[in-house]
Amino acid sequence: AKQIKVSLIGNPNTGKTSVFNLLTGLNQRVGNYPGITVEKKEGVCKLNNGTKAHILDLPGTYSLNASSLDENVVIEVLLNKKNKYFPDVAVVVTDVENLKRNLLLFTQIKDLEIPTILVINMADRMSRKGISLDIPTLEKELDTKIALISARKEQGIEQLKKCIEQYATLSQAPCLDPLSFEPDYFSRLQKAFPNQSLYKLWLVITQDVNFRKVNKQEITIDPDFKIKTESELKRLQQKETIKRYQFINAVLKKGFTIDKSTATGFSAQLDEILTHKVFGYIIFFMI
């Protein structure tokens, strides 16, 4: 029977490996990617409908504007349809306390048109931080299914499995609002390649990824589209980042609230205090 391929993607320390362990249990193995020393963890998860999902725990990455070996592994898997790990479903794991920063990568993955589920992890930390989420609104605005989970408390994993089951039958997903900065350039690019994902084209240009690998066919990108200088490339990538954060801020304004006054309990106080170190220690010994 065909296995569903699932990639776990996210910033470092969001809980990917914890989620991976919960999904795969003892059905896992650790190795390296060919030729490099980046750790590769893969395993199998049995879904409730009986199908098996192959789970890949990808190295932590902040964005797809790759600069490190780890990030290159992620790009290679996600851009190359011929890669044996190219996912049917991408699961982006985020930390509820760092949602804004973590969502940058989510918007990029979504723009690759791979069916993408958003995991918001560390739900156990919400109440003492005074965080509340409007999940239906976030799902609508981000055009995705969300699994709110706590890997530490082993909560929400069944819901995540259900989402994976559902998404495995989609073959393509809509992107968000990719690359609406620099409209002239990108509309020319899209016209030149009407059947290609715009964000993929952009990564092929900026990350120097081999187009044949990505598309199973050689397509020549007109030199006219190449970015001429390093500083021009930086400028455009910055514009992309700003654009994405504007989008993310607008979404979070609708579906994420943090109320410091409801953050109660000794541990919340302790967190607050410890963030003001020296001053904190004094108070700490007083209470």
Residues that bind ligand GDP (CB under 6 A): 10, 12-18, 60, 121-122, 124-125, 150-152
> In terms of CB distance, is 156 or 255 closer to ligand GDP?
156
Provide the minimum distance between the beta carbon of 189 and ligand GDP in the complex, in angstroms, as a whole number. Answer: 34
Shortest separation between residue 18's beta carbon and Mg ion, angstroms: 8
Nearer to ligand GDP, 126 or 251 (CB): 126
H-type helices in 113-229, by residue range?
126-129, 135-142, 157-167, 183-192, 198-207, 211-215
What's the rounded Cα separation, in Å, for the pair 242 and 182?
Answer: 12
Closest CA to 251 of 173, 163, 118, 143: 143
Cα Rg for the chain, rounded, in angstroms?
A: 20
Choose the one of ligand GDP, Mg ion, none that binds residue 244, judging by a C-beta under 5 to 8 angstroms depending on kind.
none
Is residue 86 within 8 Å of residue 80, measured between CB atoms?
yes
Return the number of the residue (61 or 197) whose C-beta is nearest Mg ion. Answer: 61
Place of tokens 């990808």: 58
Query: Around 85, how many Cα atoms within 13 Å sit in the side-chain half-sphere?
Result: 21
Residues 63-82 that bind Mg ion (CB under 5 A): none
Using the minimum distance from each CB to ligand GDP, give the nearer residue, 201 or 263. Answer: 263
Rounded least distance, CB 271 to ligand GDP, Å: 12
Query: Contact with Mg ion (CB under 5 A): which of 17, 51, 83, 155?
Result: 17
Q: Binding-site residue total for Mg ion (CB under 5 A)? A: 2
Q: Which does 115 bind (CB under 5 to 8 A by kind): Mg ion, ligand GDP, none?
A: none
Nearer to Mg ion, 96 or 173 (CB): 96
Both structure tokens of 242:
């700003």
Judged by beta carbon distances under 5 to 8 A according to partner kind, the member of Mg ion, ligand GDP, none in contact with residue 121 is: ligand GDP
CB 204 within 8 A of CB 211: yes
**Residue 255 interacts with, from Mg ion, ligand GDP, none (CB under 5-8 Å by kind):** none
Encoded tokens for 19: 């989620």
Task: Read off the amino acid at residue 261.
Answer: S
Furthest-apart CA atoms within the chain: distance in Å: 69
3-state SS class at 106:
helix
Name the minimum Å distance from CB 175 to ligand GDP. 24
- The distance of closest approach from Cβ of residue 39 to ligand GDP in the complex, given in angstroms and rounded to an integer, is 11
Using the contact rule CB under 5 A, the part of the chain among 9-17, 198-206, 246-254, 262-270 near Mg ion is 9-17
* Residue 12 site contact among Mg ion, ligand GDP, none (CB < 5 to 8 Å, cut-off depends on kind): ligand GDP
CA distance 211 to 222: 12
With 0-12 / 13-18 / 19 or more C-beta atoms within 10 angstroms meaning exposed / middle / buried, residue 58 is: buried
Task: List interacting residues with Mg ion (CB under 5 A).
Answer: 16-17
